[in-house]
Structures are given as structure tokens and as C-alpha cells.
Amino acid sequence: MTRYERVPAPGGGEFDAYLALPEGGRGPGVLVFQEIFGINDNIRGICERLAAEGYVALAPDMFWRLERRFERKDESALTECMGMVQRFDLAAAGGDITAALAHLRTLPECTGRVGALGFCLGGTLTWLCATTARVDGAGIDAAVPYYGSGIHEMLDRAADLECPVLFHYGDRDPYIPAEQIAKVEAEVAGRPHVQVRHYDAGHAFSNWDAPSLYDATAAAEAWGHTTAFLATHLK
């Protein structure tokens, strides 16, 4: 079962969020943060796969302040999508992330614990969610950033990390050099319940809707680690 939710935004207004529900209608929550392509078939598919695993998956429209329900299919729109990122207000996004977390927790279908995962831009937003989003003093319970392209620039927030994290990176990623990944690894080294996994793959290896980027082997391996990690910390 799927539907769109309307989430009250900080300072007024509302934004859309795609919701996928598990069989039986209830379960732990997972926020899903989009790539630069918006809430497209790939992100909706991720939500539906999470629902099949027993989660209430909610993907907020993070580009709504620029264009509501912006959606592009694949890498053919890369230039246009990069333009959206350049106009993206990260400070405003932080408030929207907290609003989405609050909304997910209030849904009757959500049983309480909430995780977050995201891809590329969404990986960075997942890190932002884990380190800053708090509702009544409580943050998320687990985070899974896939190839978060801006995390290395936000490591000053690591002191506020309170939940387990599973990082996924491709070792042939042209957008995230090895030294940036190493910087993240060094910052989180020794923290309990934090893992950094590497794959022989490039950027956006999980996006099956972008043929030149998708790596089926790496995607399947990462998804197995992701579902095991979420089950450990959310169920």
C-alpha cells in the first residue's frame, strides 16, 4: 500500500512525502532521502522494498522549495539535477528533515523506532538527520548513508551523533575521492555500532534506474548489509 502524505513545514506550508506501508500496515519507520533526481521510480522502489521488509518507509520531497515533486529518471538529466543541488538550501533542509521525522513518528502505522537511509545527496541528508534532527529530544535510531557526497564537509557534527551508522562507499567513485572517504573513516573510527563498507563500484551503484551507474553486484551486497543492519537496530 502506498500514498502521499502532506507534511507541515517549519515556518508554514506543507510538502509531499511518499509513503509505503508493509503487509499488516504497521512497523518501524524509515526515512528515505532522495538522490539529486528527486522522488523518482528508484526512490519509490526503495520505499516499497523497505515496506516488503516490514518497515513504514517515508520519502520526503526535499526539493519542494525549488520545485514540487521534481522528478527525473536517470543520468540523462544530470546537468539539470546538479543545478537543483546548487540552489538547494541545506539550512532549510534541516528543518524539513526534522519535520519529516516528527510526521513519521506520529503516523499510526509507525510503531516507534525510526531509521534513515539515503543516496548521494540523500546520504548527506541522512548524516544531517542523524546528527541534528531531534523531536522531543530524540533522534533517529539508525542511519545508512549511501555514498554521501557532502559528509566529509560536515564532520564537525560528529560529536552529536547518537545512533548506529552504516556507511556505504564505492572505491571507484569519481565524485567522492578516496581521501574524502578516509577522512570520514578517521572521524568515526572506534565508535561503537559504526561501520564503513567499501565496494568495487562507482558512484550511485545502487540506482537501478541509471544504467551507466548501476552495479548489480555491489547493490545486492550493500542491500543485504542494509537490511541486516536495520533489522538489528529497529526491530
**Is the Cβ–Cβ distance between 56 and 21 less than 8 Å?**
yes
In what side-by-side order are the strands of the sheet with 27-33? 2-8, 14-20, 56-60, 27-33, 110-119, 142-146, 165-170, 194-199
**Is the Cβ–Cβ distance between 2 and 40 less than 8 Å?**
no
What is the pLDDT confidence band of residue 60, given thresholds at 50, 70 and 90?
very high
CA distance 83 to 144: 25
Q: Is 173 a catalytic residue?
A: yes
- Mean pLDDT for 63-87 is 93
**Is pLDDT above 90 for 72?**
yes
What is the pLDDT confidence band of residue 74, given thresholds at 50, 70 and 90?
confident
Which candidate in 203, 209, 215, 233 is catalytic? 203
Give the per-residue pLDDT at 20. Answer: 98
Q: What 3-state class would DSSP assign to 41? A: helix
Give the per-residue pLDDT at 6. Answer: 97
Which candidate in 61, 141, 173, 209 is catalytic? 173
Q: What is the mean pLDDT of the chain?
A: 96
Q: Is 193 a catalytic residue?
A: no
Per-residue cell: 147 = 555514498
Give the per-residue pLDDT at 76. Answer: 87
**Is pLDDT above 90 for 146?**
yes
Give the per-residue pLDDT at 75. Answer: 85
Q: Which residue has the cell 540523500?
A: 122
Length of the chain: 235
The model scores a pTM over 0.75: yes
Share of the chain above pLDDT 90, in %: 95
CATH assignment, 2-234: 3.40.50.1820
Q: Is 200 a catalytic residue?
A: no
Going by the DSSP 8-state scheme, the letter that residue 9 receives in this structure is: P
CA distance 103 to 143: 18
What is the pLDDT confidence band of residue 31, given thresholds at 50, 70 and 90?
very high
- Mean pLDDT for 134-157 is 97
For 171: left if phi > 0, alpha if psi spans -120 to 50, otherwise beta; the answer is alpha
- Mean pLDDT for 29-55 is 97
Give the per-residue pLDDT at 66. Answer: 96
Share of the chain above pLDDT 70, in %: 100
pLDDT tens-digit map of 161-189: 999 999 999 999 999 999 999 999 999 99
Give the per-residue pLDDT at 188. Answer: 96
**Is the Cβ–Cβ distance between 52 and 30 less than 8 Å?**
no
Q: Which of 51-55, 71-75, 139-143 has the lowest mean pLDDT?
A: 71-75
